[in-house]
Amino acid sequence: MSRANQKLRVCVVGLGMGYAHAKAYSAMENVDLYVCDLDEAKVKRAQSELNVKGVLGSWEEALDSKLVDALDTALPHDLHKQVALKAAEAGKHFMTEKPIARTLEEADAMIAAAKKAGIKFMVSENQRFEPAVIKTKEFVESGLLGEIFLVTVFEIWFGRFGGWRLDKQRQGGGNLIDSGIHAVNTFRTICGSEVESVYSLSNRFGFTELGGEDTNLLAIKLKSGAIGNMMTSWNVAHSGPLTRFAVYGNDGCAWQEFGGDWGLYFQSSKLPQGLSYHEQPTKVLVEKINTIEAACRHFVDCILNDKQPIMSGEEGRKDLEIVLAAYRSAETGLPVSLPLSK
């Protein structure tokens, strides 16, 4: 039944990365925002800067509360499964920050519990809502670029992390399973084909306090026969002359700048008026949006209007499977085929 005319009561748990989520909900007229964090200073900041309806002391309290319809959590990776299963048991809709989990077994348990409970379950992957990614996906699906043969994606962060992210077991790995999984989702979104196999090299080059790897290079074969590569790192001092992503077909190509205005460009021999593949690229006008806010609005819309989330648990699992295949390849030195064997 549609709840389009009712307010959804959302509790954001974890006000680190979750603060951006809370800020998004605070601006929505159809949401009452509740917050939860063990750090009192973070809670007070949210109360002073955002439209907070109430504060809950823990995620367990939020699940027990009749004031809350849905949880949006930004918690350490080792808590994702536990909180998701409890949310399903409590009948609360649930969104977790990427990755969905640390293992496929954890992800499968979360997906199964959500289905059994009949709740909406979404993975917060904000780059899935990036207009440049969506437009490029449209180029690929329309055939404007012809048959795709090469896709490349970069995900580089310049900061340093602390706390639980330094623990390989709690995180489930290092760079790739954390911010690097953004690149995996962008790759999957724009390439137009499922992944067949992954070969990966990874290492820790400079982030010495990190338990897992800080840099990854993946070579990917798609079921369509196309190939691709992916580079992710936390050990880069500056971006250099890189595109964030590029997709090449036998009739054209499209790419997004890394930095600057993050412009999207394309060339195609199928353009009207005789423009050729080799002439000046065309800059595509795409809307500049807050992708985290877009993801949060989508979560709310799916609950109120009974829709299936674009970034469902199943979609989050596909991203995770590629990450885990890359880790297995880096350990064995061999390509790894998908689906993964247990």
pLDDT digits (tens, 9 = 90+) for 141-164: 999 999 999 999 999 877 778 899
Q: Residues of the chain with pLDDT > 90: what percent?
A: 85
Is the Cα torsion angle 51, 53, 58, 62 positive or negative in sign? negative
Q: What value does the mean pLDDT of the chain take?
A: 93
Specify the DSSP class assigned to residue 37.
-
* Coil, helix or strand at residue 271: coil
* Predicted confidence (pLDDT) at residue 17 exceeds the cutoff of 90: yes
Antiparallel, parallel or unpaired: β 227-233 and 215-222: antiparallel
Give this prediction's pTM. 0.95
Rounded Cα gap, residues 23 and 19, in angstroms: 6
Q: What is the pLDDT of residue 47?
A: 97
Rounded Cα gap, residues 253 and 146, in angstroms: 9
Query: Is 128-289+322-337 CATH 3.30.360.10?
Result: yes
Among 196, 215, 197, 195, which Cα is nearest to 205's?
A: 215
Q: Residues of the chain with pLDDT > 70: what percent?
A: 95
Q: What is the pLDDT of residues 248-267, one digit of tens each?
A: 999 999 999 887 778 999 99
Beta bridge pairs of residue 96: 73, 123
Rounded Cα gap, residues 206 and 235, in angstroms: 6
Q: What is the pLDDT of residue 1?
A: 35
Q: Residue 254 is inside which H or E element, if any?
A: strand 252-257
pLDDT band at 2 (very low <50, low <70, confident <90, very high): very low
* Predicted confidence (pLDDT) at residue 239 exceeds the cutoff of 70: no
pLDDT band at 242 (very low <50, low <70, confident <90, very high): confident
Rounded Cα gap, residues 273 and 35, in angstroms: 55
Q: What is the pLDDT of residues 51-94, one digit of tens each?
A: 999 999 999 999 999 999 999 999 999 999 999 999 999 999 99
* Predicted confidence (pLDDT) at residue 136 exceeds the cutoff of 90: yes
Rounded Cα gap, residues 328 and 202, in angstroms: 11
Long-range contacts for 206-210 (Cβ within 8 Å, ≥24 apart)? 206/235, 207/160, 207/234, 207/235, 209/162, 209/166, 210/161, 210/165, 210/166, 210/174, 210/175, 210/234
Distances (CA, A) of 81 to 6, 107, 126, 174, 225: 29, 7, 20, 18, 35
Is the Cα torsion angle 105, 177, 231, 291 positive or negative in sign? positive
**Residue 12 · residue 21 · CB < 8 Å:** yes
Q: What is the pLDDT of residue 156?
A: 87
Q: What is the pLDDT of residues 88-135, one digit of tens each?
A: 999 999 999 999 999 999 999 999 999 999 999 999 999 999 999 999
Among 35, 34, 33, 14, which Cα is nearest to 25's?
A: 33
**Residue 190 · residue 245 · CB < 8 Å:** yes
Rounded Cα gap, residues 9 and 31, in angstroms: 6
Query: Is 8-125+291-311 CATH 3.40.50.720?
Result: yes
Structure tokens at 238: 């500056």
**Residue 153 · residue 245 · CB < 8 Å:** yes
The full set of domain ranges for the chain reads: 8-125+291-311, 128-289+322-337
Average pLDDT of the residues in 180-203 = 96
